[in-house]
């Protein structure tokens, strides 16, 4: 089962924010370096970060190494406690891959729920999570590649993190090559990885359009990024390498990759040099500051007096009006009494 931070984030309705962020962020991807390249820094996904977001621990687990090795349908059916004949009948082909349709797995999940077979139910429900959220390919279809990863994680205790990272790199590279198309990977994971650098933990993120996301990412600088996370327990942080200025290298790389920056943004501060002044000028400035401070205090005092007077006058006017209203009410009652008496 999914645990930790990602388990709390994967199920909400990411919808528009996720798709808009992913549609924008891929434009900053630099496939040869497997990183996102911004105006004066790089960001690249790592095993440790994906491990933290998923809430898994890679300790004691081997990396996924069963590429192309799919368990036999009969073996899979026995492990999942589903009838072998049903599994074979529902082992369908979609384009070049075999697999199960989501509807069939949901039917089996309902059957296992009725008979209270909870362990088998958990594994049946895990398959759609693997095939539709973690490693999506076709809508509503869980293919054999995904089942291979599921089997290796479940039976061989291999780590889920390396194939997730590899799948993310692969889809970003494919999108870059084709210059078009959808990002087909675990988008909630990629989204949470990116915003964990840009926004503070538990911050409210307002819904933004494609243009707003683009402006947010274009103007990001190294000063805006949350670089270090204590949860990773990093003993040594590398802040420089060799003698080549890092920002200079990044700016040159931006020109090579032709990232979509609409304007030239200076990488260095353009602050003016300080202008020397004499002691006499300093004293004059101090005297002027003191004079302005005194004028400010006088104005605030005058404002307070005016506000107090206005409040007092308002109270007096209100009391006078209330007295007049009371007098009119008494006159009205007297008139009504006189009319009744004459009748």
pLDDT of residue 34: 79
State the DSSP code for 133.
I
3-state helix, strand, coil in the chain (%, to 5): 60, 5, 35
**pLDDT value of position 56:** 75
- Kindly report the CA angle at 43 between 38 and 44, in degrees rounded to 5? 140
Q: Cα torsion at 179, 94, 184, 34 (round to 10°)?
A: -70
pLDDT of residue 331: 83
Nearest-angstrom CA–CA distance, 157 and 150: 10
Residue whose tokens read 């645990």: 3
pTM of the model as a whole: 0.61
* The pLDDT value given to residue 258: 63
Q: pLDDT tens digits for the chain (343 residues)?
A: 344 444 444 444 444 556 666 666 767 777 777 788 777 778 888 888 888 888 877 777 887 777 778 889 999 999 999 999 999 999 999 988 999 999 999 999 999 999 999 999 999 999 999 999 999 988 899 999 999 999 998 988 888 899 999 998 888 888 777 777 677 888 888 888 887 887 766 666 667 777 777 777 777 777 777 766 655 555 555 555 555 555 666 667 666 666 655 444 444 445 566 667 777 888 888 899 999 988 888 888 888 887 788 788 888 888 888 888 888 888 888 887 877 777 6
Q: For residues 228 and 68, what is the distance between their CA atoms, to the nearest angstrom?
A: 37
> Hey, which residues does 43 pair with through a beta bridge?
36
End-to-end CA gap in the chain: 91
Residue 160 to residue 157: CA distance in whole angstroms: 9
What does the domain layout of the chain look like in residue ranges? 4-257, 278-343
């Amino acid at each position: 089962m999914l645990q930790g931070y990602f388990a709390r984030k994967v199920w909400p309705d990411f919808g528009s924010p996720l798709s808009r962020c992913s549609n924008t962020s891929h434009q900053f991807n630099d496939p040869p370096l497997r990183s996102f390249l911004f105006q004066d820094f790089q960001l690249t996904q790592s095993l440790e970060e994906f491990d933290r977001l998923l809430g898994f621990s890679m300790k004691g687990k081997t990396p996924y190494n069963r590429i192309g090795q799919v368990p036999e349908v009969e073996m899979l059916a026995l492990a999942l406690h589903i009838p072998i004949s049903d599994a074979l009948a529902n082992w369908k082909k979609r384009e070049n891959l075999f697999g199960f349709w989501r509807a069939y797995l949901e039917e089996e999940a309902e059957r296992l729920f009725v008979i209270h077979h909870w362990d088998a139910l958990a594994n049946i429900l895990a398959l759609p999570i693997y095939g539709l959220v973690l490693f999506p390919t076709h809508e509503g279809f869980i293919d054999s590649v995904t089942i291979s990863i599921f089997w290796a994680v479940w039976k061989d205790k291999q780590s889920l993190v390396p194939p997730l990272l590899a799948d993310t790199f692969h889809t970003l590279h494919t999108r870059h090559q084709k210059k078009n198309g959808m990002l087909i990977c675990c988008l909630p994971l990629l989204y949470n990885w990116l915003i964990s650098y840009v926004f503070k933990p538990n911050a409210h993120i307002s819904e933004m359009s494609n243009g707003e996301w683009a402006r947010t990412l274009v103007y990001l600088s190294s000063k805006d990024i949350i670089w270090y996370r204590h949860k990773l327990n990093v003993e040594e942080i590398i802040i420089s390498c060799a003698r080549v200025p890092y920002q200079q290298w990044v700016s040159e790389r931006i020109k090579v990759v032709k990232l979509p920056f609409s304007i030239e943004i200076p990488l260095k501060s353009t602050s003016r040099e300080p202008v020397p002044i004499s002691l006499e000028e300093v004293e004059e400035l101090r005297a002027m500051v003191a004079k302005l401070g005194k004028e400010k205090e006088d104005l605030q005092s005058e404002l307070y007096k005016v506000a107090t007077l206005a409040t007092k006058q308002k109270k007096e006017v209100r009391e006078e009006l209330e007295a007049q209203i009371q007098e009119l009410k008494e006159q009205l009652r007297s008139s009504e009494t006189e009319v009744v008496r004459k009748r």
